[in-house]
Structures are given as structure tokens and as C-alpha cells.
Amino acid sequence: MKKIAVLLGGKSAEREISLKTGTAVANALIRLGYNVKSIDTGNSFIEKLKEFHPDLVFIALHGPFGEDGTMQGLLEILGYPYTGCGVLTSSLTMNKIYTKRLLNDAGIPTPKFIAVRENEYLSNSLQIQSMLLSEFNFPIVIKAPSQGSTIGIYFAKQEKDLHDMILDAFLFEKEILIEQFVEGREVTVAIMGNEEIEVLPIIEIVSHTGVYDFQAKYTKGLSDHIIPARLKENVSKKVIDLAEKTYTYLGCRGFARVDFIVEDDAKPYVLEINTIPGMTETSLFPDAAHSAGISFEELINRFVKYGFE
């Protein structure tokens, strides 16, 4: 019987979501017949991991210290195979600034953006605000680039919002992302596989709160997942092509989810890529798999298979 350690919890702002993801994954692995041990990485955990000595580690961590390449690097040093993307891909895609720079290099459309460092802003705030007002139209999106689950994201709808929201974002990180808001249909594409990849049906996300924020994501009834997305066939093909290109260009393996905004039901922009997407009861990836006839247990088993590969 193969032994699988599920790493969950952790130290990031997404700890509670990780506990839900990890619990769902662990329960599925138990039903599949694996010998499973759930290990919370919020405290001392390396000795517990060594004591269990798993054949594979399933990383069910979200955010820093789990999704950003640090845990992947530790597991490589310890010699344990693990699920999902490798060190470099995990670290690059965790930071939305570096992700968007790579997308630009690859010719993959993404909303216009500028990176702003805290020390530069504090010494030249009026000048930087003036530059932002000349470059962007309201609303302007302000993001802490390495957070997930819409944590550290602000929407400045008018000039008086800008300064305080920028300062709030700097509470999370020393360099932040300023991005042009693009109005459109929000869709996401779940992809899995290593050398050969499988693209799951496109999901359209409709939030009843008007914004797909933390509350809408994780509260039942506050958002709808429409499968397949209400896109024209040629636009759907464009979205899938861009998702595949993003997945392969950034070196993803195992599984990941590419998020888009589709402007005027015609022009898709890649917003970000999630290398350890949520696996809770309200999560997008399991919904996409279910619509393709793949049960949650089979989905998790495939992730295990890709990890062993």
C-alpha cells in the first residue's frame, strides 16, 4: 500500500482554505485505498514527515510557504516526490508580477500593468499617483502579487481611493501590482498532465456580490459556476489555446488553473495561473472535472499518478 503524506494548513493567509482542501484530498485518498497521513505545516512538521516516510507528498497548501516553490524545494532536498509544479514554475507563477512579465514575453495577452515598490512610492507618492492616473482608467486594480484567494486585492474606483488602497496592499508585500481593470466575462480553465495534457471544460464564474472575492469564492450560494462558459465557439477555442500555451510556457506539470477575463465576449486576457488550485466543495477545478465525467476520487488519483511520473 503506497504511503501518501498530505501537507495542509501552513502559515499563509490562506491557511483555512488549505485545511479544507487538504481534508478533502486526504479523505479521497483514504477512499482510494492509500495509507494517508495529514501533516499540518503550520508548526514543526519535518520530523513527522521523515517518521512517516511517504512514497509521495500531496501538497495541499495555498499561498506562501506552500505554493511558491519553498515547499517544493524542501521536498526535493529531502528526496520525496510530490504533486504539482516544480520549484521554478511554482515560484514564478506565485508572483503575479513575474507571471505577467513572462506572459508578455510569450505574446500572451494580459491586462496592462505596472509594478510599484514601497520605498519608491513612499518617497515619490504624488509623482507615482500622477503617472498611474495618466496610464490607467478607473477602476484601477491594486494587488499584493503573491497572495491568493483574492486576498490583498483592491479596486480603486476614483482618485481618492488610490493612496489608501496602495498602502493597504503594501501591508502584504514590499512590491505591488497596479493593473488596468478589464470589464468582461470571468472564466477559468483547469488543465492537468505532464508531457501530455488534458484541458477540462471552461467554467464561467458569476458572483452574486458583483466581485468574485474571498466571500463569494468560499460561501455557498454567492457565486455560480456555469459549464460550459457562455462563449462563442471561436472565443472558446482562443481561450483554450491561450490556457494551453500558458501552462506549457510556464513549465507547469501535474495540474493548474488559468484564470481569464474576456472583454466584449471576444478578447480573452490571462489574469493569473494557480498551480495549487482549491479542492474544496465550492472549488472550480473539481467542478470542471465533474462536468467532464471525472469523479473527485479519480481526479485526485490522477494527480497522484502525475506526481509519481
Claim to verify: residue 279 and residue 201 sit in the same structural domain: yes
The answer on 117 and 103 residing in a single domain is: no
Q: Is residue 87 part of a domain?
A: no
* 274 catalytic per annotation: yes
CATH at residue 135: 3.30.1490.20
Q: Is 278 tagged catalytic?
A: yes
The angle that helices 233-249 and 96-106 make with each other, rounded to 10 degrees, is 110
Decide if 269 is catalytic.
no
The whole-model pTM stands at 0.91
224 classed as catalytic? no
pLDDT at 239: 98
Predicted pLDDT at 216 = 46
Looking at the structure, do residues 102 and 120 belong to the same domain, yes or no?
no
**Spans in the chain with pLDDT lower than 50:** 212-214, 216, 218
* pLDDT tens, position by position, 181-199: 999 999 999 999 999 999 9
Catalytic (active site) residue 257: yes
Q: Are residues 169 and 203 in the same domain?
A: no
Task: Give the burial class of 243: count Cβ atoms within 10 A of its Cβ; 0-12 exposed, 13-18 middle, 19 or more buried.
Answer: buried
Indicate which residue of 149, 236, 283, 301 is catalytic: 149
Which of 67, 175, 186, 259 does the annotation list as catalytic? Answer: 259
Q: Given the residues 95, 274, 283, 301, select the one marked as catalytic.
A: 274
User: Among 40, 173, 179, 272, which one carries the catalytic annotation?
Assistant: 272
From 68, 278, 306, 307, active-site residue: 278
By three-state DSSP, how is residue 286 classified?
helix
State yes or no: is 149 an active-site residue: yes
Residues 266 and 195 in one domain: yes
**Residue 105 designated active-site:** no
What whole-number distance in Å separates Cα of residue 65 and Cα of residue 69? 8
272 is catalytic: yes
Q: Is residue 176 part of a domain?
A: yes
CATH of the domain at 27: 3.40.50.20
Total tally of structural domains belonging to the chain: 3
What residues make up the domain containing 169?
113-180
Domain boundary pick from 180, 195, 210: 180
Sign of the alpha-carbon dihedral angle for 107, 113, 118, 121: positive
Looking at the structure, tell me whether residues 147 and 282 fall in a common domain. no
- List the catalytic residue out of 9, 14, 40, 148: 14
Q: Could you read off the pLDDT of 281-309 as tens digits, one per residue? A: 778 999 999 999 999 999 999 999 999 99
